[in-house]
Amino acid sequence: SQTIHQWPATLVQPVGSPLSLECTVEGTSNPNLYWYRQAAGRGLQLLFYSVGIGQISSEVPQNLSASRPQDRQFILSSKKLLLSDSGFYLCAWGLSEETQYFGPGTRLLVL
Amino acid sequence: SQKIEQNSEALNIQEGKTATLTCNYTNYSPAYLQWYRQDPGRGPVFLLLIRENEKEKRKERLKVTFDTTLKQSLFHITASQPADSATYLCALGRGSTLGRLYFGRGTQLTVWP
């Protein structure tokens, strides 16, 4: 069966510090991968999606970037965090254009 | 851009009753619509998908309807239980954009004994 992992589960970082969140998927090949952010009281916002190694599409301009160095690995990064980057970050995978399966999420607090 | 409204932020019902959640959308018609369940501090979990050419879909105590004329989906939980308490999200997909989903903000359902 397929599983998706995210780490860390919780992160507290100072403003201006770098960020690296990792997501890995097991039990499938060539999945579509997604990064979402869920801010308090707001819906899920798609940040990036990838259909293959090295292929990244950005949905909104922001202080973040994403990379896919391996088929089942998706990384979310920032060189300098802003207060507004705080939120709940979710990674998801899917094999078709339809159903997406979400990871457990990373709670990021920027102080 | 697509706008999705889940018309109540919170819904409180008594155990055993039917919970009905609403999802309305504007602009283009989606190829399919999905409902997810999200518990506090956790990622959403897929529940049901209904396509634009389907009127109704059922799964155990769950029922979803899709009215493309009204641009609305209704999500029903029959014989609700306290364990059904969670936030329910609707999401729309266009069917041609590699899984690009547009999510609503969700409705927080509380089922009290």
Note the pLDDT tens digit of each residue in A24-83.
999 999 999 999 999 877 789 999 999 999 999 988 767 899 999 999 999 999 999 999
A108 Cα to chain B: minimum distance (Å): 12
Residue B60 burial by Cβ neighbours in a 10 Å radius (0-12, 13-18, 19+): exposed
pLDDT at A99 over 90: no
CB contact under 8 A, B43 and A94: no
Structure tokens at B44: 């959403």
Q: Answer positive or negative: Cα dihedral of B94, B98, B101, B102.
A: negative
Residue B96 is predicted with a pLDDT of: 64
CB contact under 8 A, A43 and B89: yes
**C-alpha–C-alpha distance, residues B32 and A107, integer Å:** 30
Residue B28 is predicted with a pLDDT of: 72
Pairing of strands A106-110, A10-13: parallel
A97 Cα to chain B: minimum distance (Å): 4
Backbone phi, psi, residue A57, to 5° = -120, 135
| pLDDT bucket at B1, cuts 50 / 70 / 90 | low
Residue B30 is predicted with a pLDDT of: 83
Residues 39-78 of B with CB under 8 A from A: 41-46, 49
Residue B51 burial by Cβ neighbours in a 10 Å radius (0-12, 13-18, 19+): middle
